[in-house]
Amino acid sequence: MVGRSGIAGLSHRTVAAEADVPLGSTTYHFATLDELMVAALRQASEGFAETVAARGGLRDPRADLAAELAALMGEWLAGERTGVELEYELYLAALRRPALRPVAAEWCEGVAEQLSRRTDPVTARALVALMDGICLQVLLTGTPYDEEYAREVLGRVVPDRSPGT
């Protein structure tokens, strides 16, 4: 429902209608609209975290980290983008809705923690920020995702681990 109407169309009434349940069911489980949005953002964030965790190359120290991240974003942005747009819409709603901020922070910290297994924590956070920026540019401009460009710029952030460096 939010994928069609955005978060502006989110209410207990619209969620109840979409789920074909009485209005009292949604207000019982989610006392406020913020609680409903937190649940939606948490669900979207968990989906991306599972995608990251499932990508074996991100754990393999021999794999090209920049190439793995670029391919991951390519998979995420491929096809129907409604889910990705929804996740970013909820993520950015945290700017105006403080209740969403901890969940948005958990998302960033969770991805950075996974990347810290391959690089230092500061670089991991920089990679998350860069990935966010690339994804937002693709979503906001409607341009096709350029995996080679993403690999190149991510590679500029990943430290060179060649012998002697």
Q: What pLDDT, in 10s, does the model give residues 61-94?
A: 899 999 999 999 998 888 777 778 888 888 888 8
Work out the average pLDDT over 127-139. 95
State the Cα angle at 72 between 68 and 75, rounded to 5°.
140
* 77 within 8 A of 84, measured Cβ to Cβ: yes
Distances from the Cα of 7 to the Cα of 24, 27, 150, angstroms: 20, 17, 29
Q: Which fold has domain 33-157?
A: Tetracycline Repressor; domain 2 (1.10.357)
In the chain, what are the domain boundaries? 33-157
Region of 97 (left: φ > 0; alpha: ψ -120 to 50; beta: rest) is beta
CA atoms within 13 A on the CB side of 105: 6
Residue 165 has pLDDT above 50, yes or no: no
